[in-house]
Amino acid sequence: MDKNINITIKVWRQKGPKSKGSFETYKLNNVSQSSSFLEMLDVLNEQLISEGKEPVAFDHDCREGICGMCSLYINGHPHGPDSAVTTCQLHMRKFEDGATITVEPWRSAGFPVIRDLMVDRYAFDKIIQAGGFVSVNTGGVPDANAIPISKKDADLAMDAAACIGCGACVAACKNGSAMLFVSAKVSQLSLLPQGKVEAARRAKAMIAKMDELGFGNCTNTRACEAECPKEVSISNIARLNREFIKAKLAD
């Protein structure tokens, strides 16, 4: 049965990208264990505002595990200690009464801090833009089975498309690599016939943009896979490497 708990929260506070940040410690009493982690932060901010203090800035939108904006590093884990969930799906029942919880923003050269716990993840949008468009025939709507796709390929493509671009893979990686994200976006198209036309250009362009934006190299520690809230497999990284090599050989 859920109960109310008292916790100590160590939160990273930073006024801007060029400001020096530091941890600040807050006490929070009677936190419902049935509340989500973001709801707990809402309560903290209400407390800070009532005390005449600046609330903690953090990113969120859907609060349904869909958008990936709730990018928080909690007690040494992207999205917290629970597995296969985003921060908004993490509940306070995962923490004991009297616990000290450390909350930080993503740490990566590719994700500069905007303020407090908010980071600029526009780099991922730039990588997607580099991937470009997908050529399709326009006209009448085709029948559902007009383009035959094996169930295996369809399942793999759907698994790759589950990536929400939250950046947990980058935050978890000791090198700050974006390979899991890029490979998921390349894989979901390379497995389907609709993605074949621009396949070579897409793989080269997205990897080049990833390198340009300062993300690190993949050294196969699998931390990205372990921390991914959607459990995207690193087998996609192998597929991305194959797509890239085929593209370079074709050149």
Q: pLDDT tens digit string along 72-97?
A: 999 999 999 999 999 999 999 999 99
Q: 209: part of which helix (H) or strand (E)? A: helix 199-212
Model confidence, pTM: 0.93
Architecture of domain 121-136+146-250 in this structure: Orthogonal Bundle (1.10)
Best CA proximity match to 190, nearest among 250, 246, 127, 129: 246
| Structure token pair of residue 240 | 């991305």
Backbone angles phi and psi of 27, in degrees to 5: -100, 135
Query: Domain residue spans in the chain?
Result: 4-114, 121-136+146-250
Range 4-114 has CATH code 3.10.20.30: yes
Helix%, strand%, coil% for the chain, nearest 5 = 40, 15, 45
Question: pLDDT (tens digit, 0 to 9) for every residue of the chain, 251 residues total?
Answer: 678 999 999 999 999 999 999 999 999 999 999 999 999 999 999 999 999 999 999 999 999 999 999 999 999 999 999 999 999 999 999 999 999 999 999 999 999 999 999 999 999 999 999 999 888 777 777 776 777 889 999 999 999 999 999 999 999 999 999 999 999 999 999 999 888 889 999 999 999 999 999 999 999 999 999 999 999 999 999 999 999 999 999 88
How would DSSP label each residue in 32-45? ETTSBHHHHHHHHH
Per-residue pLDDT tens over the stretch 17-32: 999 999 999 999 999 9
- Could you give the CA distance from residue 101 to residue 109 in angstroms, rounded to a whole number? 24
Q: Are 87 and 72 in contact (CB under 8 A)?
A: yes
